[in-house]
Chains A and B, each alone.
Chain A
Amino acid sequence: MIAIQIILVLGFLFLFWRFLSNPGSHQVHAWIKILTFLFTVLAVVAVIFPDTANRLAHAVGVKTGANLLLYVLTLAFIFVVINIYSRGKEDERRRVILVRKIALLEAQLSKKNKK
């Protein structure tokens, strides 16, 4: 296996586990910030020195910088999708608690009014 394959496979597995297992934690929020920061730095460097992406790609066994960018974007996209899914689940959990509480309160209230 070439370097990029190992990096990507480990990256996928790490993201899948990390963000599905604990979506709302501080750690995840911190990781989002770290990744955003790294991405910004890389983007700026890549813009100023266009050859960086290519050299980086060659270093990990990828043909061109454009391919590397695609792989990294795929990883980022999956991360975003999983994160949204997890957040949706968390929102659902809260919504369920809220709606059920309203239903129970309403029923108790109307029972009281009848008496």
Chain B
Amino acid sequence: MNSQATAVIIPVYNEASVVGSMIRLTKKSFKNIICVNDGSTDESSAAIKNAGGVLLEHAINLGAGAATQTGIDYALLDPNNKYFITIDADGQHDIKDAVNMLDYLKKNDLDIVLGSRFLGTVENITGMKKQFLKLAALFSENTSGVKLTDPHVGLRVFNRRFAESLKLTMPGFAHASELVNRIGEGRYRYAELPVHVSYSDYSKAKGQSMLNAINITVDLFHHRISKK
């Protein structure tokens, strides 16, 4: 297993109670774990240090996008890192899925593999509806260039070429849309794999509210028209 060449990037914000066990679990599969503590007000950084992850500290809270990008920048400093994994700190993802996604990426020579919470669950579908969904997917593919069932997933695996071009500028949660746009712009080879997500009470309590979708939309709109 060449886990040496893979960097796992975990953005952390006030996850002191879960991030330690999350790192220990991840360590069974990957050695190089980079945690970006995004200005947490709890004991997150102590938990990360104890668990033995590389710790990067944002002096103030910036958002998941900025934390992810900081982690990627740090991982890129080491030329040995060929593969990059982003994963949420709250333990909602299964690290086995990350391992599968990495294998899939290598085998099929892809640039990025994204997890999907919704893939593979569409069963007992009528032929008519299937055709309609195919048509809808085709339409979305033609407009954005990228066909995904779950673009806001936290679990992603990508190669160095994609990591170098990523350069996320949206500090908050809108970075997920930015990442998908980047796939389209660069015509990267991508795939989606089904992943298992278990929402603990903790991650449910912290989950994004629907109102945040409005924030994300406005952020993206502002970003688009303020491009110089």
Interface residues of A (CB under 8 A from B): 17, 20-23, 86, 89, 92-93, 95-96, 99-100, 102-104, 106-108
Contact = CB atoms under 8 A, between A and B. Distances in A.
Interface string B53-71: 0111111101000100110
Contacts of A96: 62, 66, 171
Interface in B180-206: none
A17 B55 CA distance: 42
A59 to B, nearest CB: 34
Given A93-B169, A104-B56, A107-B54, A20 B62 contact: no
B32 to A, nearest CB: 13
A22 B169 CA distance: 17
B225 interface: yes
10 contacts: A20-B222, A95-B60, A95-B62, A96-B66, A99-B58, A99-B59, A100-B58, A104-B74, A106-B57, A107-B54
Contact of B36 (A21, A89, A103): A103
Main secondary structure of the interface of B (DSSP, over half): mixed
A102 to B, nearest CB: 6
B129 interface: no
Contacts of B169: 93
Given A96-B66, A100-B66, A108 B77 contact: yes
A100 B62 contact: yes
Contact of B73 (A21, A92, A93, A104): A104
